[in-house]
Structure 1
Amino acid sequence: MIRFLRKTHTYLYLGAVMLVFIPFYPFLYFLTRNPKKYYKQIVFCRKWISILATIVVGIRFKIEYEDKTSIDWSQPYVICPNHTSILDITALTYLCRQPFSFMGKIELLNNPVTKMFFKSIDIAVDRKSKISSFKAFKKADETLKNGKSIVIFPEGKIDDEFPPRLHEFKSGSFRLAIDNKVQILPVVIQDAWKILWDDGMKFGSRPGTVHIKILKPIDTETITQEEFDELQDYVYHKMNFHWKHSNTI
């Protein structure tokens, strides 16, 4: 019975996403014809589609800061969150107070909702293709140079392992940050997987609160390419500490 209820909740959530998306569609169709001009408006629509859909099914978000005063939302960041759930997308739209672009897997172009954003403001990447990866990171580099933040899940994907753990990071987000001398903003999404793991098709989902911890930004202004591995390891171990703490207490 519990499994049935959780599966039902997942379908209600997916239905809520479509239900909220439909009224936005005419506006998005117009706005996405010129994404450079209407970038902020498209980001606004994406934010409220995702947030309203979770509100309908009783999912909420709560943010905790390691040091709130250290974050300046007027400047661009390379935002690095862990990834265990499709709710992570909503978590990022909820916490980020500035326009930003996601970098995500190319399969998101097959989804009728996410397709509209990944063909306009977000960046789709086929990690199996070196050419696709090169083009995606070039576009991400241009986005940062234009003063906008980029969200990259450094694990690269939601793993098949359950319960999830923090997997080894890929290098792309750190290279972008160092090349552009922008700060890295680590984000630990602590328990989204307990509410909806992956896409919810295996274990379903339930109402609840997703807790998010935003860590102190990490400056890359003086970091050299020789210190690259050290930076990547530092961010991983710091995020892993907070991840383990939140999932063992």
Structure 2
Amino acid sequence: MIRILRKIHTFLYLGAVLLFFIPFYPCLYFFTKDPKKYFNQIVFCRKWISLFATTLVGIRFHVEYEDEENMDWSVPYVICPNHTSILDITALTYLCPQPFSFMGKVELLKNPVTGIFFRSIDIAVDRKSKISSFKAYKKADETLKEGKSLVIFPEGKIDDEYPPRMHEFKSGSFRLAIDNKVKILPVVIKDVWRILWDDGMKYGSRPGVVHIKILKPIDTETLTQEEFDELQRYVYDKMRTHWLQSNSI
């Protein structure tokens, strides 16, 4: 019975996303004709579509900071969250007050909702293709040079196993941060997988509060590309420590 209710909740959530996407679509259609000019407006639409949908089905977000006093949202970051759920996208739109782009898998282009954003302001990458990876890296580099933040899930995918665990990080986000002398912002999305794991099709979902911790930004100003391995390991270890404190799995 619980499994059935959770499945119903997932379909209610997906229906809510479409419910709010449809009235926003005419504006998005217009804005995406010139995404550079209307970048902020597209980000605004994405944020409120996702937040209206989660609110309607009883999913809320709580954010805490490791060092809130020194958090400066006026500068760009390479934002590195862990990844266990499609709700991670909404979590990032909730916590980040500045315009930003996602880098995500190329399959998101096929989704009727995410596709409009990945064809305009976000960056799709086919990790199996070296050419696609190179083009995505160049576009990400341009995004940071324009002064915008970039969200990259450094694990590269959602864990196939349940309960999930944090996988080793890929190097792209750290290379980009060092190349552009932009701070890394580690974000630990603690327990969203308990509310909705992956796309919700297997175990369903439920109402609840997603707890997010924003760790202290890490300066890359003095780092070189030779030091990216050390940076990558440091960020992984720090995020994994907070993850394990929140998840007894």
TM-score, normalisation: structure 1: 0.99
Paired residue type of 1:145: K
CA deviation map 1:153-195 (0-9, x unaligned): 0000001011111100000000000000000000000000000
CA deviation map 1:97-128 (0-9, x unaligned): 10000000000011000000000000000000
Structure 2 unpaired stretches of 5+: none
Q: How does 1:12-51 map to 2 (within 5 A)?
A: 12-51=12-51
Q: CA RMSD in A?
A: 0.8
Provide the residue aligned with 1:237 in structure 2. 237
Provide the residue aligned with 2:89 in structure 1. 89
CA deviation map 1:191-225 (0-9, x unaligned): 00000000000000000000000000000000112
- The 2-side partners of 1:15 and 1:97 are apart by 26
Provide the residue aligned with 1:116 in structure 2. 116
Q: How does 1:73-152 map to 2 (within 5 A)?
A: 73-152=73-152
1:54 aligns with 2:34: no
TM-score, normalisation: structure 2: 0.99
Provide the residue aligned with 2:179 in structure 1. 179
Deviates more, 1:136-145 or 1:222-231: 222-231
- The 1-side partners of 2:227 and 2:102 are apart by 26
Q: Which runs of 4+ in 1 moved over 3 A?
A: none
Deviation of 1:228 (Å): 1.3
Paired residue type of 2:241: F
Structure 1 unpaired stretches of 5+: none
Paired residue type of 1:216: K
- The 2-side partners of 1:135 and 1:100 are apart by 18
- The 1-side partners of 2:162 and 2:153 are apart by 18
Percent identity at matched positions? 81
- The 2-side partners of 1:144 and 1:161 are apart by 33
Deviation of 1:69 (Å): 1.6
- The 1-side partners of 2:228 and 2:27 are apart by 43
Deviation of 1:248 (Å): 2.6
Deviation of 1:226 (Å): 1.9
Deviation of 1:63 (Å): 0.2
Provide the residue aligned with 2:66 in structure 1. 66
- The 2-side partners of 1:89 and 1:185 are apart by 16
- The 1-side partners of 2:161 and 2:76 are apart by 33
Paired residue type of 1:124: A
Provide the residue aligned with 1:226 in structure 2. 226
SS at match of 1:23: helix
- The 1-side partners of 2:211 and 2:96 are apart by 14
CA deviation map 1:9-65 (0-9, x unaligned): 000000000000000000000000000000000000000000000000000000010
1:9 aligns with 2:22: no
- The 2-side partners of 1:78 and 1:155 are apart by 14
- The 2-side partners of 1:209 and 1:23 are apart by 27
CA deviation map 1:54-84 (0-9, x unaligned): 0000000000100012211110000000000
Provide the residue aligned with 1:157 in structure 2. 157
SS at match of 2:64: strand
- The 2-side partners of 1:245 and 1:212 are apart by 13
Number of residues of Structure 1 aligned to a counterpart in Structure 2: 249
